[in-house]
Amino acid sequence: SSQPGKFSFPIEVEDLLPFDVKGVWESMEECQKLGLTKAIGVSNFSVKKLQNLLSVATIRPVVDQVEMNLAWQQKKLREFCKENGIIVTAFSPLRKGASRGPNEVMENNVLKEIAEAHGKSIAQVSLRWLYEQGVTFVPKSYDKERMNQNLHIFDWALTEQDHHKISQISQSRLISGPTKPQLADLW
């Protein structure tokens, strides 16, 4: 372990402290009951972590904000959230952010073919897919043309064949996790 108070990244597993889900969530529920917030939610919660939270919550989380894009589709999490009335919000919907090397979404040949067939961009195909899954998303752009393009996803739809091709895209998380060694269900 590193010196007390000094952490390197990634964090060593032995330096992690247990997370008091029940205590933290009760405090968040109290904030809502006091009118300090309209809604409460979580970020980076897996199915297992959501199950643990729901077992102690009296107010369900409204949203779970997680990494989600066509190269990290999170099917089990999407299904669980839908069954439990939790909105999923995707960050890194275009697989940018802290990526190193090729962008498995924006440089994907299958997505390029789908985009060309619809006369759309890969970004529009990616955002349309999320929309069709019932997922909200947070695309980051400072470019006015790209922001305008991102709005033009509502007047067309992906085909069943498009969805099949998209489901075959190799899956890997963009941000693998903050611990060393990796903990499979840290988030």
User: What's the rounded mean pLDDT across residues 155-174?
Assistant: 92
* pLDDT for the residue 17: 73
Distance CA 88, CA 78 (A): 7
Report the first-to-last Cα separation within the chain, whole angstroms: 22
- In the prediction, which pLDDT does 127 show? 95
Which stretch, 15-19, 110-114, 172-176, has highest mean pLDDT? Answer: 110-114
Of 20, 56, 61, 23, nearest to 39 by C-alpha is 61
Q: Is the per-residue pLDDT at 8 higher than 80?
A: no
Task: Indicate whether 50 pLDDT > 90.
Answer: yes
60, 81 Cβ separation under 8 angstroms? no
154 has pLDDT over 80: yes
Structural domains of the chain, with CATH: 41-176 (3.20.20.100)
- Rounded CA-CA distance 52/4 in Å is 30
Cα–Cα distance, 10 to 98 (Å, whole number): 14
**pTM score, two decimals?**
0.82
Render pLDDT for 53-112 as a digit per residue (tens, 0 to 9): 999 999 999 999 999 999 999 999 999 999 999 999 998 888 875 556 667 788 889 999
Question: Do residues 129 and 137 touch, judged by C-beta distance below 8 A?
Answer: no
In this prediction, residue 145 carries a pLDDT of 85
DSSP 93-129: TTS-TT--SS-TTTT-HHHHHHHHHHT--HHHHHHHH
More confident residue, 3 or 16: 16
Q: List pLDDT tens digits, range 124-152.
A: 999 999 999 999 998 887 788 888 888 89
Q: Which of helix, strand or coil describes residue 45? A: coil
- CA-based diameter of the chain, in Å? 57
